[in-house]
């Protein structure tokens, strides 16, 4: 299985958020959204 990177980043500047996304990190704005992001990335 590929490595899955998910980060909860509720208070981050847009430049840093874009850099994470460009690096292949799935980002969410709320900790409540981590489960949904994990399901989307892994199919779990």
pLDDT in tens, 2-36: 677 777 777 888 888 889 899 988 888 888 898 99
What is the pLDDT confidence band of residue 39, given thresholds at 50, 70 and 90?
A: very high
- Domain range spanning residue 11? 6-42
Q: Tally the domains of the chain.
A: 1
In a domain, 27, yes or no: yes
In a domain, 12, yes or no: yes
User: pTM of the full predicted structure?
Assistant: 0.66
Beta bridge partners, 28, equal 8
Would you call 35 helix, strand, or coil by DSSP?
Answer: helix
**pLDDT computed for residue 27 by the predictor:** 87
In a domain, 1, yes or no: no
In a domain, 37, yes or no: yes
Q: Do the beta carbons of residue 35 and residue 7 sit within 8 Å?
A: no
């Amino acid at each position: 299985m590929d490595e899955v990177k998910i980060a909860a980043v509720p208070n981050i500047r847009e430049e840093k958020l874009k850099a994470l996304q460009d690096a292949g990190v799935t980002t969410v704005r709320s900790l409540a959204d981590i489960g949904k992001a994990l399901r989307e990335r892994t199919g779990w």
